[in-house]
Amino acid sequence: MGGEPEPWWDRLIALPLSDGERGKAFVHIMSNDNMKALLANENATSETCVSAVRELLRLAAAAAQPSASPQVDASPDICWALVGPELAAPPLLPELHQFMTTPPVAKIPTTRSAMQLIRNHPIAAHFTVADGRLAEIVGHSICLTHTVGSPSEVDTVILEHTTVVQVIQTLDNALASGHRIGLQVERDKGDDTSLMTLVSPSGRSLRPDGVMRTLDGLRMLAKWEDKGPNHAIHDAVADLQAKTAAWTPLYYGNAQYLPCFAAAGSILQFYAIPRDLAHQPVPITPCVSMMNPEHRAELAMYCVKFYQLLKAQKEAYPAHVLPAAKDLVAVTGAAPEQVTRTLHFRTDRVVVQKRIQPWSLYARWTGTEVGELAAVYQATASAQGLVHAVAGPQVDDDKYTVVLQPVGLPHTAATPRDEEGLRRAAHALLHALAAIHAAGFVHRDLRWPNVAAAYDKTRWFLLDLEMCVRVDRACQPARRPPSWTTGTLVGNSYVAASDLYQLGRMLQDHRQHVSSAEGLQFMSLLASPAQELHDRAVTAQSLLAHAWLQCPGVHCAEVGAQPGETGG
């Protein structure tokens, strides 16, 4: 920030707090992103902010004091007893309601003050006074005094975070490292702060309000939606469905459903979104009020069971999935001249949205033109073996955007492991190059990172057409790609044979898999420099007739990215 005050600083200073409160709050808020976001939110009232700050200070003070004569030490062993035994598999959808509403096998640790609040309710039998971070957080949740006073979602988010998200996170953190998921919690901070704007035609955000992922930040284990008090719970549920309208094993593996929850005002309910075509969220708990201490205790029980469910879901995911509803960002160059590329795997439909910014700098580096990119995407729309544009490309405010399908596994998750796999990859990429070259373009960026595979890992296709230019003006770009060698160019130009030479270099990375006479002859042919391939009139189309590829010709449908294929 260059030493300039962040937006929440001024808001904290303006709040009607004592100097002592303000000073202590400053220290705690510095490491609390949720409080920063609340104070920076112009829709949050002064009363809401003061209440939240004082709750934060109360919790911090409680954490600094030793518990009075605890009966149980809320150690990792106690937390493990809560979520154990581990489920062999996630419960079937019809069994989820019973699973979620059956109390945990062990008592949930909480504080003495929380037990006092619920002591006359039967639910108290499932809690015990204890020490430790989980007991403090559960106690804070049950004793929460925050109310819904704003028509915005701010109060709902505070209640939800305190009674659900924070409890689940604390349970995860309290477990021994070998037993925890390592949950990563992400919230939608609004498209104005994102590198990628994702809205429906009506202007509604297509990003989930919140997501829980595995430690690597890739697998989506759960999601949620929030609405303010002027909405009913079914409005939040409708958002869950709309933002999960697309289902693909590339996102969720063989999972039968996606656990989630929805909140509106002070009401919250847990759901599961099934993988069937309707994707209608199914309630798996009763609705509960986050304003009622007994209901908040009930929520704590649901959180324990929900965490058990997430652990089972995690084990059901395959080793490689795409990060649904997440931005993948890559930056090239150094300030002030750097280009940011962003990919977002959408969940309202099975597509990936791509952005490059600033486009003017990227275009200067590469020599590409958006009009030519639109032309090559249009010319190859009915071709197989390469990604297709379903919207765009277009440039607005110096930002290039294109929506693409199909989606596929990155090459790191589907590297050819034998000669048959390498043959299939070469076959697919030659179909892609044949289509690009027939349209009068060259790709110029043939590398394994620009190759994807279908979920079955037997069909490949080419990505990243954003380096394509017309072959008659394919001179060297301002920034020469590091993958080019002395054998890449023909004279000073990048021609169709240059793509074939670069493809040959890619295939050489896996030459050890090739043992057949046809395969070795094919590899030897593509090892020739581009100038030699050009002089011998070797083309992508002629290579498709090579015996090693076994291409059936015009009726071929053996490669990835068939027209209309989504990857779903």
> DSSP per residue over 268-302, as a string?
EEEEEEESSTT---EE-S--EETTSHHHHHHHHHH
Asked if residues 123 and 226 have their Cβ atoms less than 8 Å apart, the reply is no
Q: What is the per-residue pLDDT for 68?
A: 43
| DSSP one-letter code for 165 | I
Give 145 or 417, the one with higher predicted confidence: 417
Instruction: Write out the two tokens for 568.
Output: 């779903």
Give the list of residues 6+ apart from residue 207 with CB closer than 8 angstroms, or none: 188, 191, 194, 198, 243, 325
Helix (H, G, I), strand (E, B) or coil at 20: helix
Distance CA 552, CA 556 (A): 5
Asked if residues 151 and 256 have their Cβ atoms less than 8 Å apart, the reply is no
Distance CA 385, CA 307 (A): 41
Instruction: Write out the two tokens for 11.
Output: 């808001």
pLDDT-based confidence at 18, cuts 50/70/90? Answer: confident
pLDDT in tens, 476-525: 777 888 999 999 999 889 999 999 999 999 999 999 999 999 999 999 99
Q: What is the per-residue pLDDT for 149?
A: 67
The stretch 263-279 carries a mean pLDDT of 90
- Residue 77, pLDDT above cutoff 90: no
Q: In sequence order, what are the beta bridge partners of 109?
A: 128
- Mean residue pLDDT of the chain comes to 87
- Residue 277, pLDDT above cutoff 90: no
Asked if residues 498 and 528 have their Cβ atoms less than 8 Å apart, the reply is no
Phi, psi of 331 (to 5 degrees): -120, 130
The stretch 60-87 carries a mean pLDDT of 63
Distance CA 11, CA 20 (A): 16
- Residue 86, pLDDT above cutoff 70: yes
Instruction: Write out the two tokens for 387.
Output: 């990604």
Q: What is the per-residue pLDDT for 500?
A: 97
The residue count of the chain comes to: 568
The stretch 308-337 carries a mean pLDDT of 90
Q: What is the per-residue pLDDT for 239?
A: 92
Q: What is the per-residue pLDDT for 428?
A: 95
Cα angle vertex 488, ends 484, 493, to 5°?
110
- Residue 258, pLDDT above cutoff 50: yes
Helix (H, G, I), strand (E, B) or coil at 501: helix
Q: What is the per-residue pLDDT for 69?
A: 44
Asked if residues 168 and 160 have their Cβ atoms less than 8 Å apart, the reply is no
- Residue 37, pLDDT above cutoff 70: yes
pLDDT in tens, 420-442: 999 999 999 999 999 999 999 99
Rg of the chain on CA atoms, in Å? 28
Burial class (CB in 10 A: 0-12, 13-18, 19+), 167: buried
Q: Which amino acid is at 324?
A: A
Instruction: Write out the two tokens for 531.
Output: 């100038």
Query: Which of 3.40.50.300, 3.40.640.10, 1.10.10.10, 1.10.510.10 is the CATH number of 327-543?
Result: 1.10.510.10
pLDDT in tens, 322-335: 999 888 999 998 88
Residue spans per domain, the chain = 66-188+202-316, 327-543
Q: In sequence order, what are the beta bridge partners of 341?
A: 330, 356
pLDDT in tens, 208-253: 899 999 998 889 999 999 998 889 999 999 999 988 888 889 999 8
- Residue 336, pLDDT above cutoff 80: yes
Distance CA 178, CA 191 (A): 36
Asked if residues 340 and 330 have their Cβ atoms less than 8 Å apart, the reply is yes
pLDDT in tens, 384-412: 999 999 999 999 999 999 999 999 999 88
Asked if residues 176 and 82 have their Cβ atoms less than 8 Å apart, the reply is no
Of 241, 255, 242, residue with least CA distance to 310: 255
On the CB side of 554, CA atoms within 13 Å amount to 0
Give 188 or 234, the one with higher predicted confidence: 234
In angstroms, what CA-CA distances link 161 with 228, 526, 564? 14, 58, 41
pLDDT in tens, 535-554: 999 999 999 999 999 898 87
| Preceding amide of 552 cis, omega within 30 | no
pLDDT-based confidence at 204, cuts 50/70/90? Answer: low
In angstroms, what CA-CA distances link 146 with 53, 313, 554? 11, 33, 67
pLDDT-based confidence at 23, cuts 50/70/90? Answer: low
Most confident range (mean pLDDT) of 34-43, 157-166, 423-432 is 423-432
Distance CA 371, CA 394 (A): 9
Q: What percentage of residues in the chain have a pLDDT greater than 90? A: 58
The stretch 27-31 carries a mean pLDDT of 69
Q: What percentage of residues in the chain have a pLDDT greater than 70? A: 89
Asked if residues 235 and 198 have their Cβ atoms less than 8 Å apart, the reply is no
Q: What is the per-residue pLDDT for 192?
A: 41
Distance CA 171, CA 224 (A): 19
Distance CA 531, CA 451 (A): 25
Helices 419-438, 496-508: inter-axial angle, 10-degree rounding: 170
